[in-house]
A and B are shown apart, each in its own frame.
Chain A
Amino acid sequence: MRVTFLAVAFSAAVVSLAASPQKPAPPAGPSRAFLQLFDQYRRGSPAPAIGSFARWTEDRVKAEAMLPPGVDDSASLQALALFHTDAGIANDRFGMFAAKSPNYLMLGGWGLESVFEVHSLTAYRTVETLIARGKATNDLDLLRFAQQWYIVALSFCTRGGEPVKVENLFPQKPTLANLPAEETTAATGRPHCVLGLKDKAQHYFDDDPEVQLLLGSLVEPRVMRRSVLENTKVEVTYGQEARWYFKKALEGDPSLIEAAVRRARVLHIGLNYPEAQPMLEHALAAARASDNTFIAHLAAFSLGQLHEDHDEMETAIRYYREAVSLIRAHTASIALGQALIRTGQTTEGWLVGARMFGREGSGAAPIPDPFVLYRYAQYWQLDERLSVLRDMVRGR
C-alpha cells in the first residue's frame, strides 16, 4: 500500500517520538537461559524451547535473547529469526504492536518498526540482514529462506486480532466500496503487520511465483459468494490485481494449483466468466493427481458453488459431495446439506449437517475448514511451511 508523503512524514515523526525517549544501554550479551533454549531449538526438541521462549516477557526477550558477541554466521541468524517467529506465533503476538505503543499509527510500506512486539521485529530485522547478505553473495538458499519467511509472516498476520474493514486496508479497490459491511469485515487480522511486510515482499521477491500467489491472495476481494453481488454494479476490473498476480504465479510455476483455483473463483464470483468452470475442473483434476487434498476440496467446493449459482443443483450436489468426501469440513457440509434440503432431500440434508461436527462435542478438535482458511492467504500451510523452515535451520 502506498501512503501519501504527508502520512509517511507524520508516521515517521510519531514512530520516532514513540521510539526515542530514554534509550537503554545495549545489552551486553545473551543470558545462559536463552542460549540453552536456543541450543535446544536448534539441536534438540524445538517444541518445548518454543513454548518456554514464548512465555518470556518482552523486556526479558530484549535484555537476554541475542546471539553472543562475534557470532553472526548466516546459520545462526536464520535460526534466531525463526526462533523468534515461532515464539511470536506461539504466544499469538507476532505482528502486533509492543506493549505501551501508541494505538494507531499510519505505518506501512517500509517494514516493521520499533513499535512492533519484540519477536516479529527481531525476526524481521534479522531477515533483512540475511536478504542483504544473500544478495551480496548471491546465496540462493538464504534468499529462499527469507522468501519463505515472508510467506509465513504475512499469512499469519492476515489471521487473528481485531476485525478491520478491508477497504481501510486496500482503499484502492473500488469494487469493494458498494458491498454490504459484513462482507468486507472480518477478513483481516493484523493490518499494520500486513501493510508493513506486503510491499517489502513485493520489493524483494516480485518475480517469485509463490510470492505472487501470496500477494494475489492478499489483494483478492473477500467476497465468498456470488449472491452478495446481486445488487452491486461490478466493474470488469473486479479483482484485477489479484487475477494478474495469480496469472503470473501460474506462468512461473504451473504446479501452483491454488493460484488457478483463486483466479477461477474471482472470475466466477465477481464476473461470472464462463472460463472459470474449465479452470476449476482442471485444477480439481491436477490437485487430485498430486494428492493435494486441501486444494482439491476447494476446487470441488468452488465447482459446487458455480453450478449452484447457475441453478444446476444436481451437478452442484455432486461436487459438494466430492468436497465433503475429501475433507468433511463444516462449510462444505453446510453447502451440501442445504442443497439437498432445497431439492427435497430433507432427511439426508439434515443428517449431513449433523455429521459435520464429528466428535467435536466430546472435545475433539474441529476439522480445519478450507473455506474459512481460504480468506487468510497461505495460512492453511503455516505448520507445513514452519516445519520446512525449521528443517533448514536445525542441526546446523
Chain B
Amino acid sequence: MAIDRRRFVAGALVALTAPRAVLAAEARAAGQADAAIVYAAAARREGSSYAVLLVSGDGRILREIPLTARAHDIAIDRARRRAVACARRPGYFALCFDLDGRAEPEVFAPPQDRHFYGHGAFSPDGRVIYMTEHDVDTGEGVIGVYDTGNGFRRIGEFPSYGIGPHEAILLPDGRTLVAANGGFGSDPATGRESIDVAGMKPNMSFIDVETGALKAQHGLPPEINLLSIRHLAADASGAVWFGGQWQGAIEDAPRLIGRARLDRPIALVEPGGPAGDALRGYIGSVAVCAEGRLLAASAPRAGRVVYADTETGRIVHEVALKDACGLAGSGPRAFAISSGHGVVRTEQVAEGDGALETRFPSTEFDNHLRRV
C-alpha cells in the first residue's frame, strides 16, 4: 500500500491496442456524421478504476487504456497522431499513446521536485510537449519541455510566470504559449489541498517558447483575484478565452469567463446570461467550435453549458446537462459535451435541435473531452 513513485509510474498502464482499420470500420458502421467523430477523454470506469477512452459520438468505446490513477486532460499531437493523457494535480505521470494503436504507449514523469498540473500542449510538429508543472520547493509555476522522440526526456524548462499553471495552449504561430496561472499551488504532501488561496494573483502569461521570455502578462483586478484562471481556448480572431473558478463564497462570484490578447488586457464576458453565482462559481472547461466564432464553457456544479459569441462577447445560448464538463468542437458551429454521468451530447448551437445524446454505461467522464 505504500506510495512508491517509481513503482506507481511503472504500473500506471496496461495497453489495449486496436488497429486503425478496426477503428475506421466501427465508425463507419454507425452510418451518421457524428458517429464518425472520435473523442478522447479520461474517465472513471467501474468501481474506482481509471482509464483513457477513445469513444465514438454514437456511444461506442473504441479503445480503453486502463490507468492506476486519475488523468485530467488529453493533449493531442495531430502531426503524428498521438496523444498524451496527463495525470491530474498533483500528477506524477503522463501517458503517451498512438491514436491508431501502431506503437506501445510510453509513460513519462516529472522530476522529483516537480508535479504535473494536468495539462500539456504539443508543438505543431509534435517534436516536443510543454507540460504545466509545480516547483515543489519554491511553489513557482514551471513549463517543463519534453522531447517526444527521445523517450520523453525532459530537455528544459522555463517559468510559467505565476503560481499554479493549469492549462497551457500554443497559439497558431507555433511559438507563443499562453499559460493560465491559476494563482495557487498544491503540495505533494497534502494532495489536492490549495495553498494560500488568500494570496492568489492569477494571470494569463504569453510566453515565447523559443526563448522562454515573457511577451505579455494579464492579471485580474484585485477585487476578483480569487478567480482562478484555469482553462483556455483561442478563437478565430486570435483572442484567448478563459474559464475561471471562483475560490470565494458563491454569492460573491464575479463573471467567470473572459478573454485577452497578447496586446490587450483581460475583459470579462459582457453582462447578461447566467451570472457567476448561477454557474456556481465554477467553469470546468472551455472550447471553441471549428468555425471559431462560438465559445462553449461548462459549469458542472450548475449542470449547464453556456455559449458565448466571441465577436460580441455575449452569452447567446445555454443548455442544461447534469455534471457537464468536457467540451470539444465537433463541427462548424457544433460541440460535443461529456458528463460525469457518462453522457456525450453533440449539438448544433445555432439550431438548438437535432442534439444527439448517448450514454456510456459504467463511465464517468473526467474534466476534458478532445476531438481526435
**A-B interaction:** no
Q: Which residues of B contact A (CB under 8 A)?
A: none
Q: Which residues of A contact B (CB under 8 A)?
A: none
